[in-house]
Amino acid sequence: MVGRPRSEESRRAILQAALRLCERDGYPNVTLKAIAAEAGTGRQTLYRWWNTKADVLLEAMTAVVAPGLPPSPPDLGSFLRETFALTDGVAGRVVVGLMAEAQSDPDLAERLRTRLIGPRRAALREVLERDSAPSHADLDLIVDMIFGAMWYRLLNRHAPVDALLAEEITVLVRSLT
């Protein structure tokens, strides 16, 4: 894209503003106009760098909230506690909003899988290979079961995604051996 390069200070202000608005107003009520106002930047700056609020919030998730995974993921219980802790507060609201929007936006769904969900799945699979899973197990199915429980609770809101869930899943997976 032609134009001035991004100012890192403006970029960070926009990402932080988007997260604040999502926490305060909820994902459905966040707009690009509101993000620009909250960040104290012009709308043209925002529109030059992102096309949708989902783009801004996905970048906020990958750059600010969950910028990366540890080089060598810890044991299963630690990995799940750390991952589940990310779902608390604004991060949970953002991922639920992104996932809901991705259901009708195949391009967003692909970006969400590639930038946020895929790396977590791969890291969990690595932890299972090293730490917990029986040799005969279908690791992709176990990953689906673990993250399925997390997503079900996030979307249904009937029970917390917390350290207790992490412990219960860890015990369950280890019992498969």
Residues 41 and 44: their CA atoms lie apart, in Å, by 8
Q: What is the CATH number that goes with domain 62-174?
A: 1.10.357.10
| Residue 103 backbone dihedrals phi, psi, to 5 degrees | -65, -25
In the chain, count H helices and then E strands: 10, 0
Residues 125 and 122: their CA atoms lie apart, in Å, by 5
Task: Give residue limits of the domains in the chain.
Answer: 8-60, 62-174
CATH architecture of 8-60: Orthogonal Bundle (1.10)
pTM, two decimal places: 0.87
The pLDDT confidence band at residue 136, using thresholds 50, 70 and 90, is confident
Residues 117 and 109: their CA atoms lie apart, in Å, by 10
CA dist list (Å): 34 to 31, 89, 139: 5, 20, 43
Looking at residue 71, its pLDDT comes to 65
Looking at residue 135, its pLDDT comes to 75
Average pLDDT over residues 60-67: 80
74-115: pLDDT as tens digits: 899 999 998 999 898 899 999 999 999 999 999 999 999 999
The pLDDT confidence band at residue 7, using thresholds 50, 70 and 90, is confident
Amino acid type, 3? G
32-46: pLDDT as tens digits: 999 999 999 999 989
Residues 38 and 21: their CA atoms lie apart, in Å, by 8
